[in-house]
Amino acid sequence: MLNSDVRVRPVESSDREAWLRLRAKLWPDRSPEDLARESDSFLRGGDLWRFGALSIPFLVLVAERSGDELVGFLEASVRPFADKCRTAPVGYLEGWYVVPEWRRRGIGSTLVRAAEAWVRSRGCREIASDARVENSLSERCHRALGYEEVERLIHFRRELG
């Protein structure tokens, strides 16, 4: 059950530093500059995420503990399509993180359910997500919240000189 000291709400400009710290925990391989550039672009752009010329609906929720400390966040989007989904557009869980000391208290589920409600309100009938193959914690949590595995992929890239 969610602890009543914790509130889930949309991110605000004043959360920038705390949100960035949590993003760096979830994505330690990404450069702090990139993470900051994305966050700033979102905070400037309202509920849109901009990738060059493309803008997609985006939601950032934070879980705030009384005393203003952020203990988790979730980023979700509405993508034009997603692998193995039957409808389009579809909701997508882009990032999901709760600090270790606050896990297993329902914060992650509350974040996901709130994102699902937002996605539904935008007319979507499905929501998708992904996890690294080795992230068995994420896999267990997705399954616990009703997400079914649909595919495992290998991603490739090649430099075009």
Residue 92 in contact with residue 127, Cβ under 8 Å?
Answer: yes
Answer yes or no: are the C-beta atoms of 124 and 90 closer than 8 Å: yes
**Hunting for tokens 């000189």 — which residue is that?**
161
Are 57 and 64 within 8 A, CB to CB?
no
Closest among 99, 15, 103 to 60, alpha carbons compared: 15
Q: For the CA atoms of the chain, what is the radius of gyration?
A: 16
Looking at residues 9 to 48 of the shown chain, list those that interact with ligand COA (rule: CB under 6 A).
26
Choose between 49 and 97: whose C-beta lies nearer to ligand COA.
97
Among 14, 31, 66, 135, binds ligand COA (CB under 6 A): 135
The yes or no reply on residue 71 touching ligand COA (CB under 6 A) is no
Of the residues 70, 106, 113, 116, which one makes contact with ligand COA according to CB under 6 A? 106
Asked if 150 touches ligand COA (CB under 6 A), the answer is: no
Where does this chain bind ligand COA (CB under 6 A)?
A: 26, 96-98, 103-109, 131, 135, 137-138, 140-141, 144
